[in-house]
C-alpha cells in the first residue's frame, strides 16, 4: 500500500484494497533515501497521490522493524480520507459488474435527492497536474543519455536506468524534444486517458519522423507510442490491476508474471503493418506490448520495473539500452525483436522433456500412515491419479495403507497394497513394466525409496523414465552439504552449518559455529531427530537420536527467534515459473512446519520483503531444475532484510496441501500434468475453466 498510494497513476482515484487487513507493517520513513536522494519505499517524492482509501479492516498496531507511522496517521498527516469496516469483496463485485465507477466517501448515508457532486478525474488532464514542471537530471555523468518524458513516472524507472549506468533527464509531459540532446527516448506511465496527452503524442511523432533514436514506453507510455503510430485506444470496463498478471511473449510463447495498473488499452487490430504484437495478457487476451519489425521502437503495457513487484521482465531495460548503445557505436544493430527473443528463449533439458508420452505410469503412494497423520500425501497422490487419467494414461499405485482415498475403487487402474521399499517396488516394476514413475507425490518415504532404486540402477534396468524433477535435483536438495554448495553458486546463502556423520564430528562442528546450535537429520520425515542444543551435553543427546534416523546430521548456527517463511513454487519443463502461495509460521524458527500454526499469506512482511523472497525462490528453483511443485523455506531476521535459505523440498510437501486448500490452486494436479511436459500456460485454471493456470493467486482472505 505505501507504493500504490504514492503511485501517480492512481492520482485522484479512490483506491479499494481487497485484502481483509491492511496496515500490518505500518509505513516506513520518507527520510530513508537512496544515493540520488529519492525515497526508497514510495513511488514519488510528493506524498500520497490517491484521493481516498477503502479497506475491510485497518491494523492499528503494526509490527515491522521499518515502520515509523501507522497507515491511519500517515494518511491523516497528509489530509487523505479513508474508511474501514467495508465489505470490500461485495464492493469488488459491484465494480466488476459495472466497470470502474464514480464514488465518494461520506460520513453518513445521503438522502435520495442529494446532489453527490461526483467528479470524474478522467475529464481533467491528470498528466499535466502531476508531471514535473522543469527538467531534472539524474546521474549527470552517466551514459548513454536517456530522455524520460514524465507523465507520472515511478521512481524505480529512474533507478533501473541509473543502475545500468545511464544519465536520465526527466522532462515535462509537453516538453519540446530535441533529438540531438539525447540517445534514447523513454515514455513513462501516468494517470488518465491517453487521448488527453496530444502534446506528448506530437513530440513522439516528431522524434519518429526526424530520427531513428530507440524508443521505449511503459503503461501510458505504451498507449502514447501506439497513438503516435496511428493505433486506437479504448477504455476497458474494469482494467487490469495487480502484481500477478500473466503475459505471453509472442516470440517464445513463454509466460511471465507482471505488475499492471491500467484502465485503457491498445486495440491491436489497428496496428500498422510494420508493427506487431509483443506481449498479450493470457487471461483476457488484451494487448500488453508492441514492437516495430525492424526499427528500435517498442513498448509494454505492464510495469517491468515495478518497485517491489515481479522482476521477471526487468531485462527490458537492458534490451532498450543495448539498442541505444549499438546505435551510438555505429554497429549494424541486432533488432530489438531478435535480441529480446534470444534473451527469453529457453531450451528445455533433454533429460526432463518426454520424447513420447508414457502409456503406463507407476505412482509411489503415501506409505503407511497413522490415523489423522499426513493425509496430505494421500491428497497429492489422488490428484496425480486424477490428472493422469484425464490424459488417458494407465496408473499403477503402490500404497500399503488401505484407509486412503487414493486406494479407493475408481481412482488408480491397479493398486498394490505393498510396503514402499525398494524390493517390493522392483517386483511391481518387473511385473507391470511401466514407462514412467512419479516419486514426488508420496512424501519423504516415496522420495527416499525412489533415490535408493535409482542408485541401484533399477529404473535404468527396466527402462522406466523418472518424470518431473530429475533425480539428481532431488539428491542435491536432500543432501544438505551439496545443497549448501549449489545454493552458493548463485550467490544465495544457507545458514552457517556443517554436515557431520558422528557424535564427535557434531561436537567439533558446534565448537566452530558456536552455541546454541540446531541439529537436523538429513533425509528425515517430519523433522525427526531435530532440535536446539545450548551445550555439549544437550548436543550429545540430540546427535544420538538424530543419527538413529539418518547417517547424516546437519549442525546449524542457531537462528532461534527468526521468522520462518515459505513459498510454494511451480515450474514447468519450459522454464515458466510462478509462486503460488507464501506462508509464515506463527511459531518462530525451530518448530517444524508440520507441527506449527501457519498463516497464509504472511502478515507482517512488507511488499519489498515478499518480492525479495519471491525472486530468490524462483532463482533457486530454476537453478536446481525442479519440474513440478516444490517449496522453499527461509529464515528471515525480524529486525532486517537478512535471510537464509533453510531448505528446498523438491516434492509435494505437507504445506502443499494447505496451500492448495488456501488458494484453490490444485498444486498436485498441476504438478502431475507438468511431469508429462505439458507447458504451464496450456493448463486451464481449475476454478474458471477458461483462463490459464500460469498465474499467482491473490487472496482477499486470510488462512490460518
Contact predicate 215/293, CB 8 Å? no
Query: Degrees (nearest 5) of the Cα angle 647, 650, 652?
Result: 110
Per-residue pLDDT of 187-213, as tens digits, reads 999 998 899 999 999 999 999 999 999
* Band of residue 20 on the pLDDT scale cut at 50, 70, 90: confident
Per-residue pLDDT of 446-467, as tens digits, reads 888 999 999 999 999 999 999 9
Average pLDDT over residues 237-243: 85
The CATH number of the domain where 56 resides is what? 3.50.30.20
* Band of residue 526 on the pLDDT scale cut at 50, 70, 90: low
For every residue of 352-379, DSSP letters joined together read TS-SS--SEEEEE---S--TTS-THHHH
Active site residue 41: no
For residue 353, tell me if it sits in a domain.
no
Contact predicate 650/440, CB 8 Å? yes
Active site residue 222: no
Residue of 219, 231, 255, 630 with catalytic role? 219
Residues 105 and 139 in one domain: no
For residue 234, tell me if it sits in a domain.
yes
Average pLDDT over residues 534-556: 88
Residues 94 and 203 in one domain: no
* Band of residue 369 on the pLDDT scale cut at 50, 70, 90: low
The CATH number of the domain where 512 resides is what? 3.30.1490.20
Q: What is the mean pLDDT of the chain?
A: 91
Residue of 222, 262, 303, 306 with catalytic role? 303
Q: Of the residues 316, 344, 372, which one is the last residue of a structural domain? A: 344
**β-bridge pairing 233-249 and 14-16:** unpaired
Per-residue pLDDT of 269-304, as tens digits, reads 999 999 999 999 999 999 999 999 999 999 999 999
- pLDDT at res. 550: 82
Q: Domain containing 393: what range?
A: 360-467
- The model carries a pTM of 0.90
- pLDDT at res. 353: 82
Average pLDDT over residues 658-678: 93
Residue of 3, 288, 305, 566 with catalytic role? 305
Cell numbers found for residue 357: 508420452
Q: Residue 480 pLDDT > 90, yes or no? A: no
For residue 482, tell me if it sits in a domain.
no
For residue 626, tell me if it sits in a domain.
yes
Q: Residue 372 pLDDT > 70, yes or no? A: no
Structurally, how many domains does the chain consist of?
A: 5
Higher pLDDT among residues 66 and 96, named by residue: 66
For residue 485, tell me if it sits in a domain.
no
- pLDDT at res. 355: 80
The CATH number of the domain where 678 resides is what? 3.30.470.20
Tell me which of 44-53, 632-641, 693-702 is least confident.
693-702
* Band of residue 242 on the pLDDT scale cut at 50, 70, 90: confident
Q: Which one-letter DSSP state was computed for residue 268?
A: G
For residue 694, tell me if it sits in a domain.
no
Residues 115 and 131 in one domain: no
Q: Residue 523 pLDDT > 70, yes or no? A: no
Q: Residue 540 pLDDT > 80, yes or no? A: yes
Average pLDDT over residues 640-655: 90
Contact predicate 293/337, CB 8 Å? yes
* Band of residue 334 on the pLDDT scale cut at 50, 70, 90: confident
Scan for cell 493425509, then name that residue: 375
Active site residue 303: yes
Beta pairing partners, 279: 249, 289
For every residue of 523-566, DSSP letters joined together read T-STTTT-EEESSHHHHHHHHHHHHHH-S-EEEEE--TTSEEEE
Average pLDDT over residues 574-587: 93
Per-residue pLDDT of 109-147, as tens digits, reads 888 888 888 888 888 899 999 999 999 999 999 999 999
Amino acid at each position: 500500500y505505501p507504493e500504490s498510494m504514492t503511485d501517480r497513476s492512481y492520482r485522484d482515484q479512490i483506491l479499494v484494497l481487497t485484502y481483509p487487513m491492511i496496515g500490518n507493517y505500518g509505513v516506513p520513513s520518507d527520510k530513508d533515501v537512496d544515493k540520488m536522494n529519492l525515497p526508497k519505499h514510495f513511488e514519488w517524492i510528493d506524498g500520497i497521490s490517491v484521493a481516498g482509501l477503502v479497506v475491510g479492516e485497518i491494523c492499528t498496531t503494526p509490527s515491522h522493524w521499518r515502520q515509523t507511522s501507522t497507515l491511519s496517521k500517515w494518511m491523516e498527516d497528509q489530509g487523505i480520507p479513508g474508511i474501514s469496516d467495508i465489505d470490500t469483496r461485495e464492493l469488488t463485485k459491484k465494480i466488476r459488474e459495472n466497470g470502474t465507477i464514480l464514488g465518494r466517501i461520506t460520513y453518513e448515508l445521503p438522502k435520495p435527492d442529494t446532489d453527490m457532486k461526483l467528479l470524474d478525474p478522467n475529464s481533467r488532464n491528470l498528466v499535466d497536474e502531476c508531471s514535473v514542471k522543469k527538467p531534472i537530471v539524474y546521474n549527470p555523468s552517466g551514459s548513454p543519455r536517456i530522455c524520460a518524458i514524465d507523465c507520472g513516472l515511478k521512481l524505480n524507472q529512474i533507478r533501473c536506468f541509473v543502475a545500468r549506468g545511464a544519465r536520465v533527464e526527466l522532462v515535462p509531459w509537453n516538453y519540446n524534444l530535441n533529438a540531438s540532446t539525447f540517445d534514447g527516448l523513454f515514455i513513462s506511465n501516468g494517470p488518465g486517458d491517453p487521448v488527453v496527452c496530444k502534446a506528448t503524442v506530437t513530440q513522439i511523432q516528431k522524434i519518429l519522423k526526424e530520427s531513428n533514436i530507440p524508443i521505449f514506453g511503459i503503461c501510458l507510455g505504451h498507449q502514447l507510442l501506439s497513438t503516435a503510430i496511428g493505433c486506437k485506444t479504448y477504455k476497458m470496463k474494469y482494467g487490469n490491476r495487480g502484481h500477478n498478471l500473466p503475459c505471453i511473449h509472442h516470440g517464445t510463447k513463454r509466460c511471465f508474471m507482471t505488475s499492471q495498473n491500467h484502465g485503457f488499452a491498445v486495440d491491436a487490430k489497428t496496428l500498422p503493418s510494420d508493427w506487431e504484437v509483443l506481449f498479450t495478457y493470457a487471461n483476457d487476451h488484451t494487448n500488453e506490448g508492441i514492437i516495430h519489425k525492424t526499427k528500435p521502437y517498442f513498448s509494454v503495457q505492464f510495469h517491468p520495473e515495478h518497485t517491489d513487484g515481479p522482476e521477471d521482465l526487468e531485462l527490458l531495460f537492458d534490451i532498450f539500452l543495448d539498442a541505444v548503445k549499438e546505435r551510438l557505436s555505429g554497429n549494424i544493430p541486432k533488432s530489438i525483436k531478435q535480441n529480446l527473443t534470444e534473451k527469453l528463449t529457453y531450451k528445455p533439458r533433454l533429460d526432463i522433456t518426454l520424447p513420447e508420452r508414457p502409456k503406463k505410469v507407476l505412482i509411489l503412494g503415501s506409505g503407511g500412515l497413522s490415523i489423522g497423520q499426513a493425509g496430505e500425501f494421500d491428497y497429492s497422490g489422488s490428484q496425480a491419479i486424477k490428472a493422469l487419467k484425464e490424459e488417458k494414461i494407465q496408473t499403477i499405485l503402490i500404497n500399503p495403507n488401505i484407509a486412503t482415498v487414493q486406494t479407493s475403487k475408481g481412482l488408480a487402474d491397479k493398486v498394490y497394497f505393498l510396503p514402499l521399499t525398494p524390493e517390493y517396488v522392483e517386483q511391481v516394476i518387473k511385473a507391470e513394466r511401466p514407462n514412467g514413475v512419479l516419486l514426488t507425490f508420496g512424501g519423504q518415504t516415496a522420495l527416499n525409496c525412489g533415490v535408493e532404486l535409482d542408485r541401484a540402477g533399477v529404473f535404468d534396468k527396466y527402462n522406466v523414465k523418472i518424470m518431473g524433477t530429475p533425480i539428481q535435483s532431488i539428491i542435491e536438495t536432500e543432501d544438505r552439504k551439496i545443497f549448501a554448495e549449489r545454493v552458493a553458486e548463485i550467490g544465495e546463502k544457507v545458514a552457517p552449518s556443517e554436515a557431520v556423520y558422528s557424535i564427535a564430528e557434531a561436537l567439533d562442528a558446534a565448537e566452530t559455529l558456536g552455541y546454541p546450535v540446531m541439529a537436523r537429520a538429513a533425509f528425515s520425515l517430519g523433522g525427526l531427530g531435530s532440535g536446539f542444543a545450548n551445550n555439549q551435553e544437550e548436543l550429545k543427546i540430540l546427535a544420538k537420536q538424530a543419527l538413529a534416523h539418518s547417517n547424516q546430521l546437519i549442525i546449524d548456527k542457531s537462528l532461534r527467534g527468526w521468522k520462518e517463511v515459505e513459498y510454494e513454487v511451480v515450474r514447468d519443463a519450459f522454464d515458466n515459473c510462478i509462486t503460488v502461495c507464501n506462508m509464515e509460521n506463527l511459531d518462530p524458527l525451530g518448530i517444524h512446519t508440520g507441527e506449527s500454526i501457519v498463516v497464509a499469506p504472511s502478515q507482517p512482511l512488507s511488499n519489498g520483503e515478499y518480492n525479495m523472497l519471491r525472486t530468490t525462490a524462483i532463482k533457486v528453483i530454476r537453478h536446481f531444475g525442479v519440474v513440478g511443485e516444490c517449496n522453499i523455506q527461509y529464515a528471515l531476521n525480524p529486525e532486517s532484510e537478512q535471510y537464509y535459505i533453510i531448505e528446498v523440498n523438491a516434492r509435494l510437501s505437507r504445506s502443499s496441501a494447505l496451500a492448495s486448500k488456501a488458494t484453490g490452486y490444485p498444486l498436485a494436479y498441476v504438478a502431475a500434468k507438468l511431469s508429462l511436459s505439458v507447458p504451464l500456460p496450456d493448463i486451464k485454471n481449475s476454478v474458471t475453466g477458461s483462463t490459464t493456470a500460469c498465474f499467482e493467486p491473490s487472496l482477499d482472505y486470510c488462512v490460518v
